[in-house]
Structure 1
Amino acid sequence: MAARARAGIDRSNDGEGAMKAMALAVALVMGGPAVAQSTPVETSASVQALEPQIGQFFETWLREQHAPGLVYGIVRDGRLVAVRGLGTQDQQAKRPVTADTRFRIASMSKAFTALAILDLRDQGKLRLDDLAETYVPEMRGWKYATSDAPRIRIRDLLTHTAGFVDDNPWGDRQQVLTEAEFTAMLKAGVPFSRPQQSAMEYSNFGYATLGRIISNVSGKPYQRYITERILTPLGMTSTGYDVLASPPGSRAIGYRWENGAYLREPDMKDGAFGAMGGVETTASDYAKYVAWLLSAWPARDGAERGPLKRSTVREIVQGSNFAELADRRAGLGEGVCKQATAYAMGWRVIQDCDLSYVTHTGGYPGYGSVVILMPEAGVGVFAFSSRTYGAPVPPAYKVARLMKDAGLATRRPVALTPGMTTGYAAARDVWQAGDILAARDRMAMNMLMDRSAANWRAELARLHGQVGACATDTPIEPVTAMAGRFRWRCDKGDLAGSILLAPTPVPSIQELRFVAVPR
């Protein structure tokens, strides 16, 4: 599932990285809204103004890719601010696609499986570094790729580092396997593509194995466990795994485009491999899930209001293995752009020249899907289509970029801490006095070791001569609780500065920089 070429995405199409403060390297900080428990469609004047462009992105893709139907949604600050169906959900009755039409979302199902595993971890029922064979005894005695290869951990299955071969599109067609057939497959063992923990290689088989672990550890089918622990608490009443049980007329029927015509894909029943791609949902339901995920940012005090802990949600998007750098795929933006990519747990994380986000696609016989989250901004974009391996990645990416450029997906401000207030006052005192010793009591012990007081006076005098008098009443912009940046308007230009506090109980500055900026 989410086959890189066929589902409209490749390994260069996901990632997340660090931001740079002015003249000061600081860590990327995620911001976030208050917890939102519901996602009613709400008219947003700012998003509404972008709707003609948003709609055009998806309409063009629908037409050019010969997708029978599509639905897209935008979540912002815990609310579904835009949702629209395009095309028809079936080629016979020609019912229009709506926010309540059910689509299979293929590999976007993996995130639910990953969350269920971490939920069991949180309950103390397993550990991510436990050997998978502890919970799947059929894996014991497997012949590994090399004699010195480590045995497979649960963590390896979550991050696609178990050594299994990239199994698209074979894995998609295993959806219908019964649990007994899957047991026989596990007992027989599988060949390995590479030694364990040596590289990331996408595996549907690995996520199916995670489904078996959920079932064995919880004592109930993984579908039921995920429904009870995640779907039901979030009010996702139109979401599940058994597509054959969906109400008649509610489903988007899957097709592939072949020889200039639509060919109906078979409805694959629920089975053992559903943990890697079997979820069927609606835009209305999925928006609730997206809003809940985004509500995990920022880290904060206060009661937990979701089915899983906020820290657990944030954990699944930590891209921490075998990062890659490649050109951004064509169709996502102008010019050459590099993307840094890493796989987390059911999510890819990426940073490119335009966006920092987490994402996953789904590709399946009859369906394609994509979700893009910008957690630090509280914004999510998703889209489902009813065409084989038709993941609407380009329009979803363009919408995310459009939202950012319009100021609707900006990082939330970091709270100003007492330490940063103290540090900023010290920076003002240093500048106004032209002497680092004016705030010596608020400087860390390294400051005068790294640059002498005489050198500081000389440098400050040079900058004063370059920019003149400055208005220092501009508020500081916190980047983290321990770092901030500021920019003052001066007579002959601007003065940009940055502060980095030391890890001391009493606030003190370990790095202070001033840079003249021509106007």
Structure 2
Amino acid sequence: MNAGEGLTAAEAAGAVPGDGPLAGAGAGAEARARAAVRAHLAEAFAAHPAPEVAWGLVLDGRLVDGENLDRAFRIASMTKSFTAAAVLGIRYGAIPAHRRLDLDDPIAEFVPEASAPIRAITVRDALTMAGGLPTDDPWADRLEAMTAAEFSELVTRSPLRRFAAGTGYEYSNLGYALLGRVIEEVTGRPYTEVVAEEILRPLGLESSGFDVAALPPAAVVPGFRRTADGGLEDLVPTRPGAFSAIGGLWSTVPDIAAWIGRLLDASAPVTAAGPAKESGDGAGADPWARPLRDIQQPQRFIGIDASAGGPSANSYGCGLHSSTDPVFGEFVHHSGGYPGFGSHMRWHPATRSAVIVFGDITYFPARTIATGAAEACVTALGCDRDPAGQPGAAVSAATEAGAETGESTEPAVTAEAEEQRAAAPTGERPAPSSEPLVDRLGVELPVAAESRRVAERVERLLRAWDDAEADALFSPNMDLDVPRAERRAVLDAVLAATGEAGAEVGGPEAGGSDSAGSGSGTADAAGDPPAVPDTATQHRHGAGEGASAGVPDVVWRSPTRARWTVHGPDATRTVALELNPFGQVQKLTVEAQGGAAQPALHR
């Protein structure tokens, strides 16, 4: 692992209190957990290298092991847990405000200039990702430094919507940017100041902050992007602004470990003596207990994920995810992904254990790495099904004895489980429930005519590039994520691999049907490229089967995500695009498949 010094044995031994779930397990449980996590991370970091990584292991709510602990990484969307805590802190009186905040207040009360669809979203909708706004990661990641005036102008525009507010789940950064504005309106203070003075400083998170220029230069980790030729591009960090509430915080492993410890304390089970700390208006009560409990509670059901070794019920709380499976019970977690960084924090309330992982390269798979490490930790601590088949956490006497005598106590892990874990998605969020239905049942989704026209224009652009047209179609993040010249070079390689360069090819075909009459076109008399088939007629299709022969079409997996296939003379080209909330292309993937070479353009 290319990280700094780990905690010493003395530091680790003094880090775990004696009254938590591990109190009766002895030192062997901690030793097993540390060994299991270190072994997993060594292998994972070797498989997914980054210029710099950091990690931490939390047991009984305290950091007991880790590396690169004095380095500050951009934690990106992990910031949302602090934003949600600030909103609920205002709601329950932990943060002073000049007006009362109700979670069912509409955004219209705080952002009156917003368009009607945005005004109808409530504070609760935004907190729980139920505002109906489409996923917007690549686009929103580039907007942190937006000014207040620019933000006010942006929200006057009417966005695309996935569903009516309050009726579903869809991850939205714009929704959390709106919450940043809510915090400012009710407190009369900048969002970054509220979080810093009301949350970070009281908790002693002195190594965390929103302005990279205010952090010690020697502590700041640079972020990198891997270029098409395998090189590294150093990315310039953004500064605080209207979108800081979505992911603007920089932090260290010890600070995040302290944050997790505070959250674990807030959600600890009530003992026979009653709750040690309770929120409310009474004297001596802890006003933060209720807000910090609430942000961890599942609020919006996402779906069942069976991709990683067993069914897991996934929900969103307020700025945090909750995943529960039959073996381990509940994990609470959140990832962060920004240009140049990937991060993840994941804790297991039953054992009060947690794993934190940071990496400084775009799309660093921190979630996959941390998930495996957290499961290895919990397994080493003895969490397994109890005789009734329910999740439990107990270290058996035999296991403890084995640890003390030096005998092997490694849990058995089936090859099937390892394969499923390795194949698990790296993204933070399971697909919304509508998207699997598109694949399996051929359910048709309503798609705006303007969005359909964007897909048609993108296909024409790919076959006959025009910078002015790209400027009109692309969201500003596109050229920042992949410089225009690099994008063009990779696209040229894709077209050469498929044999389309200089050739006459057919239009896009959903699913790649290659039967006769499937949409292959020829240039007209003027030599123009064949027209892209009209996508106004949506068709049904089965999972993996694509369109019916002779019905070429763009397949919309959601109102903002589309894909199609083009058959070139030598290979097949697949295209996938994603629109931002205002109908611009924020993500574009073009891949050649089936030829001798398989170049690909992502984002």
Pair 1:199-2:179 in alignment: no
Task: Give the SS at the match of 1:205.
Answer: helix
Distance 1:261 1:295, change over 3 A: same
Task: Give the SS at the match of 1:183.
Answer: helix
Structure 2 equivalent of residue 281 of structure 1: 251
Structure 2 equivalent of residue 224 of structure 1: 193
Specify the code of the residue in structure 1 equivalent to 2:352.
G
Query: Displacement of 1:188 after TM fit?
Result: 3.1
Specify the code of the residue in structure 2 equivalent to 1:298.
P
Structure 2 equivalent of residue 54 of structure 1: 37
Q: Distance in 1 between matches of 2:19 and 2:153?
A: 47
Specify the code of the residue in structure 2 equivalent to 1:375.
P
Query: Displacement of 1:313 after TM fit?
Result: 1.3
Q: Distance in 2 between matches of 1:223 and 1:45?
A: 42
C-alpha contact 1:62 1:68 (8 A) present in aligned 2: no
Structure 1 equivalent of residue 112 of structure 2: 137
Specify the code of the residue in structure 2 equivalent to 1:404.
V
C-alpha contact 1:341 1:348 (8 A) present in aligned 2: yes
C-alpha contact 1:135 1:213 (8 A) present in aligned 2: yes
Count of equivalent residues: 353
Q: Distance in 2 between matches of 1:170 and 1:34?
A: 46
Specify the code of the residue in structure 2 equivalent to 1:270.
P
Q: Distance in 1 between matches of 2:18 and 2:193?
A: 30
Using the size of structure 2 for normalisation, the TM-score is 0.55
C-alpha contact 2:331 2:349 (8 A) present in aligned 1: yes
- Pairwise CA RMSD of aligned residues? 2.9
Pair 1:76-2:55 in alignment: no
Using the size of structure 1 for normalisation, the TM-score is 0.63
Distance 1:73 1:408, change over 3 A: farther
C-alpha contact 1:100 1:250 (8 A) present in aligned 2: yes
Pair 1:122-2:92 in alignment: yes
The 5-angstrom pairing of residues 289-304 of structure 1 reads 289-296=259-266, 297-299=268-270, 300-303=274-277
Distance 1:361 1:307, change over 3 A: farther
Instruction: Report Cα offsets for 1:66-86 as digits up to 9, x if no partner.
Output: 3111111111223211112xx
The 5-angstrom pairing of residues 478-493 of structure 1 reads none
C-alpha contact 1:105 1:280 (8 A) present in aligned 2: yes
Structure 2: unaligned runs, 5 residues or longer: 1-16, 21-25, 94-98, 279-283, 386-390, 392-603
Instruction: Report Cα offsets for 1:353-398 as digits up to 9, x if no partner.
Output: 4322111111110100111111232222111111112142233222
C-alpha contact 2:29 2:381 (8 A) present in aligned 1: no
Distance 1:410 1:82, change over 3 A: farther
Q: Distance in 2 between matches of 1:132 and 1:322?
A: 22
Instruction: Report Cα offsets for 1:25-82 as digits up to 9, x if no partner.
Output: xxxxxxx9979xxxxxxx9653334434422322322232231111111112232111
Distance 1:192 1:232, change over 3 A: same
Structure 2 equivalent of residue 316 of structure 1: 295
Task: Give the SS at the match of 2:166.
Answer: coil
Structure 1: unaligned runs, 5 residues or longer: 1-31, 36-42, 85-97, 330-335, 412-478, 480-519
Bigger relative CO (Cα 8 Å, ≥ 6 apart): 1
Specify the code of the residue in structure 1 equivalent to 2:46.
R
Structure 2 equivalent of residue 402 of structure 1: 376
Pair 1:262-2:232 in alignment: yes
C-alpha contact 1:359 1:372 (8 A) present in aligned 2: yes
Q: Distance in 2 between matches of 1:398 and 1:405?
A: 10
C-alpha contact 2:117 2:159 (8 A) present in aligned 1: no
Structure 2 equivalent of residue 159 of structure 1: 128
Instruction: Report Cα offsets for 1:315-364 as digits up to 9, x if no partner.
Output: 112213234012234xxxxxx41211111111111112432211111111
Task: Give the SS at the match of 1:137.
Answer: coil
Distance 1:327 1:257, change over 3 A: same
Task: Give the SS at the match of 1:368.
Answer: strand
Structure 2 equivalent of residue 241 of structure 1: 210
Specify the code of the residue in structure 2 equivalent to 1:340.
A
Pair 1:340-2:323 in alignment: no
Query: Displacement of 1:295 after TM fit?
Result: 0.7
C-alpha contact 1:362 1:391 (8 A) present in aligned 2: no
Instruction: Report Cα offsets for 1:207-240 as digits up to 9, x if no partner.
Output: 0000000011111001100111110000011101
Q: Distance in 2 between matches of 1:306 and 1:262?
A: 51
C-alpha contact 1:233 1:307 (8 A) present in aligned 2: no
Distance 1:307 1:174, change over 3 A: farther
C-alpha contact 1:33 1:295 (8 A) present in aligned 2: no
Instruction: Report Cα offsets for 1:443-478 as digits up to 9, x if no partner.
Output: xxxxxxxxxxxxxxxxxxxxxxxxxxxxxxxxxxxx
C-alpha contact 2:223 2:361 (8 A) present in aligned 1: yes
Instruction: Give the % identical residues.
Output: 33
Query: Displacement of 1:198 after TM fit?
Result: 2.1
Q: Distance in 2 between matches of 1:321 and 1:395?
A: 25
C-alpha contact 1:44 1:81 (8 A) present in aligned 2: no
Structure 2 equivalent of residue 464 of structure 1: none
Q: Distance in 1 between matches of 2:153 and 2:19?
A: 47
Task: Give the SS at the match of 1:341.
Answer: strand
Q: Distance in 1 between matches of 2:74 and 2:299?
A: 28
